[in-house]
Structure 1
Amino acid sequence: MRRQCCSSAFTTRWGELPAERCRQSKEHNDTAVYFSRRSGVQAPCQTLWLWARTRGMRRLLFSCHPAAAPLVAILRPLAAALSLCLMGLTPGCSLFQGGRDDLDAGLAPALQGEPVPYVTHIRVEEPIPGFEDGRTPTEADLRTRMSQNSQLIQLEKQAPDSLLGLERRARLDQKTGVSLLHSLGYYEGQATFTVDDTTRPVTVTLTLIPGRRYLVGRVTILYRPRPVVPPSFLHRTREVGLFFKRREALPDPVFPHALDKVRPGDPATAAPILDAVAALPLTLRGEGYPLARVASARYTLDCRERRLNADIVVDPGPAAVMDGIAVSGAPHVHDSYLRRLIPWREGQPWDDKLVARYREILQQLGLFNTVDVKAAGLKSAVPLAVAEDATGRPLPVLPPSPAGPGNNAAPDDDTVLRSEPVGSMSAPSGTEGKAAAAAKPDDTAADTVVEIPADRQPVTLPVDVAVREAAFRTVGASMRYATDVGFGVQGSWEHRNLFGNGENLKIKLPIAQDLQGIRADFIKPAFGRADQKLLLGTALEREKTDAYTKRAASAYAGLDRRLSPYWWAESRIYAEDGTLRENRQNNRYRFLSFNLGLRRDTRNNALNPTSGTRLALTVAPISGFYHGAFSALAA
């Protein structure tokens, strides 16, 4: 074996080294044999390995003529790198594929491909007392939340291929544990893990060390620029009442200087703080400031007092009143029809709730696949950049800090948790992560620049409506069985935008063993007013049973009006005329009814409700003729 490592082919190819120079010590030859032992053959890389260890190679790499020193200084690292690459690419070479047998046995569980089953234990090192207010998590709460966000537990049935892979999962869980503790107010919290590979399955223990909990300290909310309240936004009233209308006063715009449901002394939990910060502009958007946004938010730790301080800057944007709509993407639906459905009056202070209600109205029409309703952008040449709060004092600027909440070490005495525009405080995926994502910077009006008039008059803001039309026609067919009419089929045809104003015409053709006919129903939305529908319908039918044969024609006309978000009223006149053949005699009949209905519907979805109720009351006085005049009352 030692002779083969210096074959004539090798010496002929390289030429610089004679064969006898390759006959080195037994230590060198044994090393060459070891690196080919796993392949079972004498690999060419053995020769390259021994050649690199010969005195000739060392003389070539480390000694040279003084005149060639600069060139050799460049070639030395290149030659070494080339030797390593050749040994790695040569077939059968095991230099980079393993080690000695004892080393193979020690590293096999870590480097080889056998799955490593394991179990995970989560423990809390420092006991946490539970309180009746429910705001302080217990040890069981921490373990539950960590289990919900742990990769070790979620992937426990998918064993890693090595101990290194298992340790990688544990390190990720260690970071998640620190983020979880920070999100619950334990900003000095740490997480550690141990891997016990002497047990089968391997035991992984993740330890959470909460430390002292931080509380909410100072909360400063500043408005930049100073909000401008137009006179038309003050002393407003609105009409309320279902049957007995009255006017009630509306509150003037309010600019809160405290977070909702977050008070100093409360636990510094990420979710409620971020939710309260995200709600600040939402309140203003319902009071006439549609472009309000959180410009920045900084969270600073006071480690001496163990307090979390928050400095929030809100850009209220200009005061605005609502204007008309600008529709795009609806070439077959008339803009005039969509304007009649607007739930606001042009010129009233902006209210995001009305925009959301209009979006819901458009979605319920069945005419559009997608609906996007939002405030149109405004631009002018003179931006406002007043760096002051509501009292005119300069805004404080917090110093930046390289420290952050994601570190496993305890924070310094005064650590700025967030010195950039509003982002999420430390929180893992799950409930806290969703709340953190909800408080990302609000870019609704980030590029909008508005000049406020000197007389404090609000700007007029139109509403952009972007839609994508759906198919207006539907053809259907069905088979059914009923005990009164037997087997039957029914075909239907529907058009949901007959004349371009959302008119709905539906024609049904039922054919059964005992019943045949045709029926048409027509609905005209926004008839006379936006919340009122015109209802028309007619039908022809023939019904044949063992007792009688009926031929009839019927028609109806009515109105359906929405009285409030949950109440509707309906009135309908129904007439029917036909003949009944009984005992071989034809008897004519006709009747007229006036239906009055009132219903309350709080369902969240009419077709597939998951919450809410539906209550309906109908009264129908009837008058007609059949073997003489008659009258009745149906309810």
Structure 2
Amino acid sequence: MRRSLAFCALVCGLWFTAGLFAPSVMASSEIRYDVTMEGMTNKLRTRLEEISKTVLLEKKRPPGSIALLRRRVNEDIPRLLQVLKGEGYYGARVSADIDTKAEPVRVMFRVALGPSYLLKSVEIKTVDQDARPRVSLPNPEELGLHLEKPARARAVLDAKEELIKHTRKQGFPFPRIVQQKVIVDHAERTLAVIFSLDTGPLAHFGSTSIIGLESIDESVVRSEIPWQDGDRFGPEMFSQLEKELIKTGLFATVQVKLGETFGKDGLLPITITVKERKHRTISAAASYKTDEGLGGTISWEHRNLLHYGDRLRLTTTASEITLAAEGQFRKQQFLRDDQSLSFTLRAADDRPDAFRSLNVYTSLILDRTLPNEMVLGGGLAFKAEWVEQLGDENRYGLASVPLHLYWDTSDDLLDPKRGGRLMLAFAPYYDAFGSNLSFIKGQLGYSRYTQVFTKPSLVLAGRVNVGSIGGAKRDEIPADERFYAGGGGSIRGYPFQSAGPLDGTNPIGGRSSLELSAELRLKIGEHIGFVAFLDGGNAFTDSIGDSGENLLWGTGAGFRYFTAIGPVRLDIGVPLNQRKGIDDDYQIYLSFGQAF
């Protein structure tokens, strides 16, 4: 019995001791090594390191022996050669040395690139073309392939996709590359590419079915369809339709799919699948500006009031310079699918430093959508108001005929990165309360957005606004219809409406104005951004530049925090032409969305 107990104790002790030393034994069996590569550019080295198992597993999974390390290195060589061929180095050679005496073990990949092979020719052959309508074939440059340039595999693969897109745009929805042949000539160090293209049948649009509608009338969707039954197939019309339906604000998702088989009429059926958004929305926004103080807006909107996408919006605005309530009803598809009719009613107490205006405004505006993102509109408007400025009180009943043209090619409402926005507005005014006052007011504004870099995102934005009033003297024009400049949406760094004619320190407005802005917008990561800006301009007593009134310039910087719906803006503006007793050293602006 004693011998048995002693034997068990001995076994347990040996097992425990082995457990203590096992980790160190296992650790000592791992081969630690370093990897270096020579013979290529830094950019190419990065590409090779991204696919090298020797590099990727260096720290994560060291091999258990030199033999396993050598196997890992040897398996890497074909991978590296494949990448080099993809970059146009079809004669490249790769060798590897392992220095087992070094500590840690040293692995060296040596690359002999050789000359870069050039693209000699690109040929596109069509299959069964005699039995089908002819397709226009692209030249190599249209596919992104450039003759006598390095023959990179990525460019050839991209060209294959471009050839498919090019063929689909001509009305062939089911093209395919039946064969892709790459011929390498090592003697001439060139590459020839041959694509065999089966265009498939030419297609025309057939009947369109719509799935997913709940409360929206089907005519709302059909009015946006850019094709007629029997029209030649064009894939760009699908993306155009999806974009236009999303822009209505009625749908959360839109998907347009082409049928896979032709109908008995020889046409391809179309299916549009939609998911409706919630049609009622309550929204709120707040802002702070050192020259205007705190402000806020609360809105309620119904985007499908009569089941035809008709929109009713009620808005209340309150700040230190205005108190207003507004309602707007917009009737879609008014008399035509591309027209809408808007009725607006607004009551306000506007009281900036320049004037005070108690007014009621109403308008009836007809808008027509034109090609290329243009909107042309016009209608009738009337504003009854009491206006006071510097102790002078007047009452007006301004009847007007507002006309406008909008052109918006920007890619985002609150944070544009590409495209532009044009606004042209013109309106004759007549005082219906018996003063015989009449004048004409015009405005022109244009903003342009260019994305210089994508990672990180750097956008150059520019803006110009010009305004002019004719037909009446400055003092005859109602104070709230004159032009003013200065503030967060105008010339940052100057108090609201103060960049222009003054009576002492009180803004009195002018008959014309000019505003200029340039802004650099840098976005770092997903949420953080910074801007630097330069604003300039003025409001002028009469014409732009008259009476010795020079432009006032302001500059500054800002911070942006990007949310799911748009950026929060914080800007600090400094006046470069600071006027004693009028302009502060700086102005702060906090609001939602970019400055323009």
TM over 0.5: yes
SS of residue paired to 1:524: strand
Q: Could you tell me which residue of structure 1 aligns to residue 365 of structure 2?
A: 558
Amino acid at match of 2:129: R
Q: 2:309 aligns with which of 502, 517, 522?
A: 502
Q: 2:247 aligns with which of 354, 357, 364?
A: 364
Q: Could you tell me which residue of structure 2 aligns to residue 471 of structure 1?
A: 278
1:493 deviates by 0.6
1:541 deviates by 2.4
Q: 1:254 aligns with which of 124, 129, 136?
A: 136
Which has the larger Rg?
1
Tell me if the contact between 2:366 and 2:377 (Cα under 8 Å) persists in the aligned partners: yes
Q: Could you tell me which residue of structure 1 aligns to residue 37 of structure 2?
A: 122
Larger deviation, residues 158-167 vs 350-359: 158-167
Q: Could you tell me which residue of structure 2 aligns to residue 511 of structure 1?
A: 318
SS of residue paired to 2:438: strand
1:368 deviates by 2.2
SS of residue paired to 1:297: strand
Tell me if the contact between 2:303 and 2:309 (Cα under 8 Å) persists in the aligned partners: yes
The 1:494/1:228 distance shift into structure 2, 3 A limit, reads farther
Tell me if the contact between 2:406 and 2:423 (Cα under 8 Å) persists in the aligned partners: yes
1:475 deviates by 0.7
Tell me if the contact between 2:124 and 2:137 (Cα under 8 Å) persists in the aligned partners: no
**Structure 1 residues 284-433: aligned runs within 5 Å:** 284-299=167-182, 301=184, 308=191, 310-378=193-261
Amino acid at match of 1:143: R
C-alpha root-mean-square deviation of aligned residues, in Å?
4.4
- In 2, the alpha carbon distance for the partners of 1:494 and 1:317 equals 48
1:490 deviates by 2.9
Q: 2:11 aligns with which of 43, 66, 78?
A: 43
The 1:332/1:599 distance shift into structure 2, 3 A limit, reads same
Q: 2:408 aligns with which of 601, 606, 619?
A: 601
Which structure shows the bigger proportion of residues in strand conformation? 2
Q: Could you tell me which residue of structure 2 aligns to residue 421 of structure 1?
A: none
Determine what percentage of the aligned residue pairs are the same residue.
26
- In 1, the alpha carbon distance for the partners of 2:19 and 2:120 equals 61
Tell me if the contact between 1:221 and 1:258 (Cα under 8 Å) persists in the aligned partners: no
- In 1, the alpha carbon distance for the partners of 2:54 and 2:312 equals 58
1:631 deviates by 0.6
- In 2, the alpha carbon distance for the partners of 1:598 and 1:477 equals 29
Q: Could you tell me which residue of structure 1 aligns to residue 483 of structure 2?
A: none
Q: Could you tell me which residue of structure 1 aligns to residue 515 of structure 2?
A: none
Amino acid at match of 1:595: P
TM-score normalised to structure 2 length: 0.61
Tell me if the contact between 2:48 and 2:80 (Cα under 8 Å) persists in the aligned partners: yes
Post-superposition Cα deviations, 1:590-634, rounded to whole Å, max 9, x if no partner, equal 101222223443322222111222232222221114671201111
Q: Could you tell me which residue of structure 2 aligns to residue 143 of structure 1?
A: 45
1:301 deviates by 5.0
1:341 deviates by 1.0
**Structure 1 residues 16-31: aligned runs within 5 Å:** none
Larger deviation, residues 281-290 vs 526-535: 526-535
1:145 deviates by 3.7
| 1:207 matched to 2:207 | no
Q: Could you tell me which residue of structure 2 aligns to residue 402 of structure 1?
A: none
Q: Could you tell me which residue of structure 2 aligns to residue 574 of structure 1?
A: 381
| 1:272 matched to 2:187 | no
SS of residue paired to 1:459: coil
Q: 1:619 aligns with which of 406, 423, 426?
A: 426
Amino acid at match of 1:323: G
Q: Could you tell me which residue of structure 1 aligns to residue 466 of structure 2?
A: none
SS of residue paired to 2:402: strand
Tell me if the contact between 1:228 and 1:319 (Cα under 8 Å) persists in the aligned partners: no
1:499 deviates by 2.2
1:45 deviates by 11
SS of residue paired to 1:613: strand
1:576 deviates by 0.9
1:328 deviates by 1.5
Tell me if the contact between 1:296 and 1:312 (Cα under 8 Å) persists in the aligned partners: yes
Q: 1:521 aligns with which of 291, 315, 328?
A: 328
- In 1, the alpha carbon distance for the partners of 2:148 and 2:351 equals 79
Gapped regions of structure 2 (runs ≥ 5): 443-596
The 1:192/1:499 distance shift into structure 2, 3 A limit, reads farther
1:572 deviates by 3.8
1:169 deviates by 7.8
SS of residue paired to 1:533: strand
Amino acid at match of 1:282: K
- In 1, the alpha carbon distance for the partners of 2:89 and 2:392 equals 91
Q: Could you tell me which residue of structure 2 aligns to residue 183 of structure 1?
A: 86
TM-score normalised to structure 1 length: 0.58
1:508 deviates by 0.5
1:210 deviates by 3.1
- In 2, the alpha carbon distance for the partners of 1:571 and 1:531 equals 14
Tell me if the contact between 1:371 and 1:466 (Cα under 8 Å) persists in the aligned partners: yes
Tell me if the contact between 1:573 and 1:594 (Cα under 8 Å) persists in the aligned partners: yes
Post-superposition Cα deviations, 1:514-558, rounded to whole Å, max 9, x if no partner, equal 643310123334434444333321112235689986443211122
**Structure 1 residues 483-502: aligned runs within 5 Å:** 487-502=294-309
Amino acid at match of 1:368: F
SS of residue paired to 2:155: helix
Post-superposition Cα deviations, 1:305-341, rounded to whole Å, max 9, x if no partner, equal 7665545332322211123432222322222111111
- In 1, the alpha carbon distance for the partners of 2:344 and 2:28 equals 79
Amino acid at match of 1:189: A
Q: Could you tell me which residue of structure 1 aligns to residue 476 of structure 2?
A: none
Which structure shows the bigger proportion of residues in helix conformation? 1
Gapped regions of structure 1 (runs ≥ 5): 14-40, 47-90, 125-137, 231-251, 381-450, 452-457
Q: Could you tell me which residue of structure 2 aligns to residue 540 of structure 1?
A: 347
SS of residue paired to 1:313: strand
Tell me if the contact between 1:43 and 1:93 (Cα under 8 Å) persists in the aligned partners: no
Tell me if the contact between 1:123 and 1:207 (Cα under 8 Å) persists in the aligned partners: yes
- In 1, the alpha carbon distance for the partners of 2:261 and 2:248 equals 30
The 1:546/1:365 distance shift into structure 2, 3 A limit, reads closer
The 1:277/1:152 distance shift into structure 2, 3 A limit, reads same
SS of residue paired to 1:617: strand
- In 1, the alpha carbon distance for the partners of 2:76 and 2:87 equals 16
**Structure 1 residues 150-229: aligned runs within 5 Å:** 174=77, 176-196=79-99, 203-211=106-114, 213-216=116-119, 221-226=124-129, 228-229=131-132
Tell me if the contact between 2:262 and 2:269 (Cα under 8 Å) persists in the aligned partners: no
The 1:324/1:535 distance shift into structure 2, 3 A limit, reads farther
The 1:352/1:559 distance shift into structure 2, 3 A limit, reads same
- In 1, the alpha carbon distance for the partners of 2:101 and 2:433 equals 96
The 1:517/1:606 distance shift into structure 2, 3 A limit, reads closer
- In 1, the alpha carbon distance for the partners of 2:56 and 2:421 equals 42
- In 2, the alpha carbon distance for the partners of 1:218 and 1:513 equals 71
1:166 deviates by 7.9
Amino acid at match of 2:30: L
SS of residue paired to 2:255: strand
- In 1, the alpha carbon distance for the partners of 2:181 and 2:38 equals 33
Q: Could you tell me which residue of structure 2 aligns to residue 634 of structure 1?
A: 441
- In 1, the alpha carbon distance for the partners of 2:87 and 2:392 equals 85
- In 2, the alpha carbon distance for the partners of 1:161 and 1:211 equals 32
Q: 1:589 aligns with which of 392, 396, 401?
A: 396
Post-superposition Cα deviations, 1:113-136, rounded to whole Å, max 9, x if no partner, equal xxx5x6543211xxxxxxxxxxxx
